[in-house]
Structure 1
């Protein structure tokens, strides 16, 4: 039975890994050397992007992971069976209408048993998720699991708690970039399970986690986000060390930061949308060249794109779930659609190279469609600036001030 479970888990792991490498233009992974070998591990991550956070982390390493996810996703019996097969376990919160300490006892025991077998457990200790890149207050669940595991009868003498940061250039964008950072492990050895040790470990992990993801000041987030992520060069700024160090240099400059927040808000009220960078003449030419390929991409991939678009548009209420559901349904949809294209092409031509070429055309025309849409949005906003001189003046003033601050923060860039 365990062999079948391993085969199913890693077969799914391979499919998702390939899918993610197609969905993102670049997945940068650093700190793999920080993952201990042959020892129980707890991965604790920031949580900005629903299920896709977990998928990125688990396909970035080869450990046999177990996951704690919110209990609400187990309400559907089919979903429950599927999630259980992939080592997902429900974790209960107060808003689930239960006493979380009592409801989670069996789940915590399952975590202890998995760790005793030197498996890995992944959880999101922030207790909330949204797409804002700021530090959050951690729940004590990760400390309870770590200390419970080392005190569990038959458990390991020590557990390594590894902070993981997932840093997105664009939380929902197809072919965007992401940087997964594994931080230095915190080794937890046997000690008394009491409030003092829980608090101490939680504080230690909070500090460690804040170093591996972009963790801007929560109170000044809007202004800091305007400074660092207002344009479309965000992929250059997803190094947490770089951004966090720069943000610390702005500590105490509350008035200046809030001025940027107010300027960005005023621009948005006048029709601007961020992130944004004016489109250059050469990029307009590229957009025109992409147009026919984009049309092919739309027509060829419409059987998958249309239902996914309608589902996300009409059924998804929380922005944090957009990327996860787009990726999940697209992965399933394109697996089926591309299999159909291969079968149809081979039946028609009896040539496997032609069948494979159909998939290549489908994917690369899809990338062209995405590139065209991105440039078209920039083209529309650039045209808006050219027709609204007041808006243009305000925007140029905003950018000039932002660049002045960023040049001081990143003098060598």
Structure 2
């Protein structure tokens, strides 16, 4: 069994009961072909939470300096993370991400680039739009709704695939495409808050 599978199993055993994780819309994630899962970012625990709730194995970007430490770097690569410099302007990281998608795999992105300390959505970087436009991947918006508190329900929602064809055909900018993706994430958050928040009381 791969390190990724082992880590996913261990984290699942801990996180699911600890945070009472509820997953909505998992069936929206395609079983095959390249996929980009784009989520809001409210905690440093978001990557493992998306990793264990997604039906697909996911490749994530991680801060480049973390890979400078031999043991940690080896561990991160073992769980399918790859380095990126802040700002997502790292050409090597962009090429790596595109290669992952070309091979039919799943790329996990947090369009905001950094976690929100207020739980409010921030402005997206262009990176998510770049990958959406430069690949044939299916874009799946994802919303993580906290809080990350033991015993409280943490909800992860996978939205329906976005239609990016028109953005690609019209050569929309990466920034505008990223903003469209963030709008879908915002819709998931607002729709949940208006219709399902009572379930957590």
Q: What TM-score, normalized by structure 2, do the two folds share?
A: 0.86
Q: Does 1:184 align with 2:137?
A: no
Q: Hey, what's the Cα distance between the residues in 1 that align with 2:193 and 2:68? A: 36
Partner of 1:363: none
Whether 2:10 is the aligned partner of 1:11: answer no
Counterpart in the other structure of 1:163: 141
Note closer, same or farther for the CA distance 1:74–1:192 as it changes in structure 2 (3 Å cut): farther
SS in 2 for 1:59: helix
Counterpart of 2:61 in structure 1 is 68
Q: Specify which structure has the higher proportion of helix.
A: 1
Is it true that 1:124 corresponds to 2:110 in the alignment? yes
Number of corresponding residues: 198
Say which of 122, 131, 154 aligns to 1:136.
122
Question: Highest relative contact order (Cα 8 Å, sep 6+), 1 or 2?
Answer: 2
Give SS of 2:10's match.
helix
Give the whole-Å Cα distance in 2 for the aligned partners of 1:122 and 1:12.
17
Cα distance in 2 between the residues matched to 1:23 and 1:64: 22
Q: Which contiguous aligned blocks of 4+ residues in structure 1 show a shift greater than 6 angstroms?
A: none
- Backbone CA RMSD of aligned residues: 2.6
Whether the aligned pair in 1 keeps the contact of 2:125 and 2:175 (CA below 8 Å) is: no
- Could you give the per-residue CA deviations for residues 380-399 of structure 1, whole angstroms, max 9, x where no partner exists? xxxxxxxxxxxxxxxxxxxx
Shift of 1:192: 6.8
> Paired residue for 1:371?
none
Q: Could you tell me whether the CA contact under 8 Å between 2:22 and 2:156 is conserved in 1?
A: yes
> Can you list the C-alpha shifts for 1:41-82, whole angstroms capped at 9, x where unaligned?
1011111111x1111111112312100122233232211111
- The alignment status of 1:93 with 2:86, answered yes or no, reads yes
Unaligned segments of structure 2, at least 5 residues: none
Aligned counterparts of 1:93 and 1:130: Cα–Cα separation in 2: 16
**Matches for 1:238-253 after TM superposition, within 5 Å:** 239-242=192-195
Shift of 1:15: 1.1
Aligned position for 1:115: 101
Q: 2:151 aligns with which of 155, 175, 198?
A: 175
Distance 2:183 2:154 in 1: 22
Contact 2:33 2:137 in 1 (8 A): yes
Give a deviation string over 1:289-334, Cα, whole Å, max 9, x none: xxxxxxxxxxxxxxxxxxxxxxxxxxxxxxxxxxxxxxxxxxxxxx
Give TM-score, length-normalised by structure 1: 0.44
More strand by proportion, 1 or 2?
2
- Offset at residue 243 of structure 1 (A): 8.1
The within-5 A match list for 1:189-204 is: 189=165, 191=168, 196-204=172-180
What is the correspondence of 1:342-353 to structure 2 with a 5 Å cutoff?
A: none
**In structure 1, C-alpha distance between the alignment counterparts of 2:122 and 2:111, rounded to whole Å:** 9
Aligned ranges for residues 33-112 of structure 1 at < 5 Å?
Answer: 33-50=27-44, 52-93=45-86, 101=89, 104-112=90-98
Bigger Cα Rg: 1
Q: Which runs of 5+ in 1 are unaligned?
A: 95-99, 150-157, 216-238, 245-409
| Matches for 1:316-355 after TM superposition, within 5 Å | none
Deviations 1:89-146 (A, max 9, x none): 122125xxxxx53xx2111111111112211000111022134221211111011112
Output aligned runs, 1:154-303, within 5 Å: 158-168=136-146, 170-171=147-148, 173-189=149-165, 191=168, 196-213=172-189, 239-242=192-195
- Structure 1: how far apart are the matches of 2:196 and 2:120? 11
